[in-house]
């Protein structure tokens, strides 16, 4: 009896299995999806807070996007101390370049020596050039608001940069006391608030 059931099962399999295989082979091909004829417009995002802070959520977003294969540039205008400069980007991921100002310290205010001021101008010029060349899809400009408020970067230049960048490039601006003109052109504004200090 068991032998008969086993034989019957083999007969059924021999009849059904070829049908499944043929149906897989003869499945209709999916129609070709045409490439997009337009690019998705990039966003300007602002992350701001009342105090000077490191925007962890922005940096994790940049790392996640780079990990998915998108080219990302993080520019830290006021962080120094390692004399990194834009000539020596740190690559935190395969698609993420992280550059800083080539100064021997972190800039805390508007009292800046001329060589430091020139290093910051060079970093800003480099940033504008690589974005204009469409080298990155996401650009994070860290503490840009402070660089503007300290008189180190012109607010007018930043507005021109945002208008003239390739249209598909996303830009994230961070820092406290973000100028109103930049808030006005932002597509998204995130304000971090802290009600107590740990």
Answer yes or no: is pLDDT of 164 > 50: yes
Residue-range definition of the domain harbouring residue 156: 44-191
Residue 17 and residue 23: Cα distance in Å, rounded? 10
Q: What is the pLDDT of residue 47?
A: 92
Question: Could you tell me if residue 7 is inside a domain?
Answer: no
- The strand ranges marked E within the chain are 44-48, 72-76, 90-93, 96-100, 138-142, 170-174, 188-191
CATH of the domain at 74: 3.40.50.300
Number of separate domains in the chain: 1
Confirm whether 56 is domain-assigned.
Answer: yes
Q: What percent of the chain has pLDDT over 90?
A: 38
Per the DSSP assignment, residues forming a β-bridge with 47 are: 174, 190
Integer angstrom CA distances of residue 178 from 31, 34, 105: 48, 42, 23
State pTM to two decimals. 0.75
Per residue in 132-157, pLDDT tens? 999 999 999 999 999 999 999 999 99
The per-residue pLDDT of the chain, averaged, comes to 80
> Has residue 39 been placed in a domain?
no
Predicted confidence at residue 137, as pLDDT, reads: 94
Residue 16 lies in a domain: no
- The Cα–Cα gap between 173 and 146 comes to 11
Pairwise CA distance, residues 124 & 71, whole Å: 19
Report the range out of 25-34, 51-60, 92-101, 123-132 with the highest average pLDDT.
123-132
């Amino acid at each position: 009896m068991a032998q008969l059931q086993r034989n019957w099962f083999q007969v059924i399999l021999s009849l059904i299995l070829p049908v499944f295989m043929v149906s897989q082979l003869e499945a209709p091909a999916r129609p070709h999806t045409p490439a997009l004829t337009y690019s998705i417009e990039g966003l300007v995002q602002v992350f701001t807070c009342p105090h000077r802070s490191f925007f962890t959520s922005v940096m994790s977003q940049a790392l996640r996007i780079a990990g998915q294969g998108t080219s990302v540039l993080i520019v830290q205008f006021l962080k120094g101390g390692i004399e990194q400069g834009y000539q020596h980007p740190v690559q935190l991921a395969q698609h993420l370049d992280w550059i800083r100002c080539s100064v021997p310290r972190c800039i805390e205010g508007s009292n800046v020596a001329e060589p430091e001021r020139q290093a910051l101008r060079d970093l800003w010029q480099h940033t504008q050039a690589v974005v204009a060349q469409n080298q990155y899809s996401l650009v994070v400009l860290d503490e840009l608001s402070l660089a503007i408020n300290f008189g180190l970067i012109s607010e007018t230049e930043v507005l021109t940069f945002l208008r003239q960048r390739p249209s598909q490039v996303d830009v994230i601006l961070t820092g406290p006391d973000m100028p109103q003109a930049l808030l006005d052109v932002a597509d998204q504004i995130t304000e971090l608030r802290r009600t107590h200090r740990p």
